[in-house]
Structure 1
Amino acid sequence: MATRNIEKAAGVEIRFAPDAVGTFTGYAAVWGKRDAFGDIVQPGAFAKSLATHKVAGTRPLMLKGHDPNAVIGTWDEVREDQTGLKMTGRLVLDSTEGRDAYALMKAHAIDGLSIGFRTVRATPAPGGGRIVHEMELIEVSLVARPAQPAARVMNVRSAPSNPAAVGLAAHLCAATARIKRN
């Protein structure tokens, strides 16, 4: 049986499955794979940046197409593993951009992830490009064509058979948040 998150406020209990609609997982970078610019990201390249985000209580932005005006969601988990930089995030389905991104992902029209970063330390790579040892991670975008072909969304949580339930769940979340503030 799946574990569920329980929200309680003013005597109201709301239960949400941990794998809510609009949640997705993917790799924003894969170790040792050359991208379209010739860069090869090395394991550990994000470690300092992720630690800095953790201390500051921040996280990289989730954007659509590297557009700073197109925030489409939030990253819940960002971590390095044996494959690369693994991302788990939630689209904001109450926003037009979030709903559009969700529809495009479900249709398999957009499934790429792309990093926005500042290079901290890199060395020339044989045959051109760079071997990137350290970078500051600023944002990760949902894109149609990622610079690194292996940087892809792996799965997207589907909507329930009753689409109105998505709006109801979002409404209940917002109501719970308002109750908690008061």
Structure 2
Amino acid sequence: MTQRETLTLAAPEVRFATDEAGTFSGYASVFGEPDSYGDTIRKGAFRKSLTARKATGGPAMFWNHNPDEPIGVWTELEEDARGLKVTGKLVTETARGAEALALLKAGAVNGLSIGFRARSSERGPNGGRVLTDIDLVEISLVSLPAASKARVTSVKGAAGPAGVAAFIEAARRAATLIRRK
């Protein structure tokens, strides 16, 4: 006779964090990469602007550089070794914010693009500017970024009915596997 062990998994409730819905991250600019205009951004070019923006708020988040279409807020901005790393939150209670989230989740849109004023630059070897000091005004979610590597790298969304169903199914499979052992 084999001895049987019963494992009971109790989960009185399962909660999904919805405060992250519409949050996404990526690089709004990548250092050393010439954009479609021939401009290259040097590490440190955003330093002054980021310090100033912490005190005043911003930069703005627009849809395709259109100031009539704000779609969210930037919650984190930092220069790292690669470029301008950003995290933003879409305002999904607006039609354009909800559309932007749907397009991001589907992979239909994943470009980021900066709107700025050049305070200081040098001539680069390719004839374009090497930007050394930038006044960052806005960062937009776009279809076609001028800098090909300026992209959204992750998107968080609310776990809707399909997400909840997938979680429940995964939990059932895990419980079945545990019972077999």
Q: TM-score, normalised by structure 2?
A: 0.78
Distance 2:147 2:19 in 1: 27
- Equivalent positions of 1:21-170 (< 5 A) are 21-56=21-56, 58-162=57-161
Distance 2:161 2:87 in 1: 24
Distance 1:96 1:112 in 2: 20
Letter in 2 for 1:68: P
Identity rate, percent: 46
Distance 2:157 2:147 in 1: 26
Instruction: Find the residue that maps to 1:100 and give its secondary structure.
Output: helix
Aligned length: 149
Q: How much is the aligned-residue C-alpha RMSD, in angstroms? A: 1.8
* Greater radius of gyration (CA): 2
After superposing on structure 2, the runs of 4+ consecutive aligned residues of structure 1 that deviate more than 2 Å are 15-19
Distance 1:138 1:122 in 2: 17
5+ residue gaps in structure 2?
1-14, 165-181
Q: Deviations over 1:73-118 (max 9, x none)?
A: 0000011111100110100010000001011111111100000000
Instruction: Find the residue that maps to 2:65 and give its secondary structure.
Output: coil
Distance 1:18 1:138 in 2: 29
Q: Report deviation, 1:19.
A: 6.4
Q: Report deviation, 1:55.
A: 2.4
5+ residue gaps in structure 1?
1-14, 166-182
From the superposition, tell whether residues 16 and 71 of structure 1 become closer, same or farther in structure 2 (CA, over 3 Å): farther
Q: TM-score, normalised by structure 1?
A: 0.78
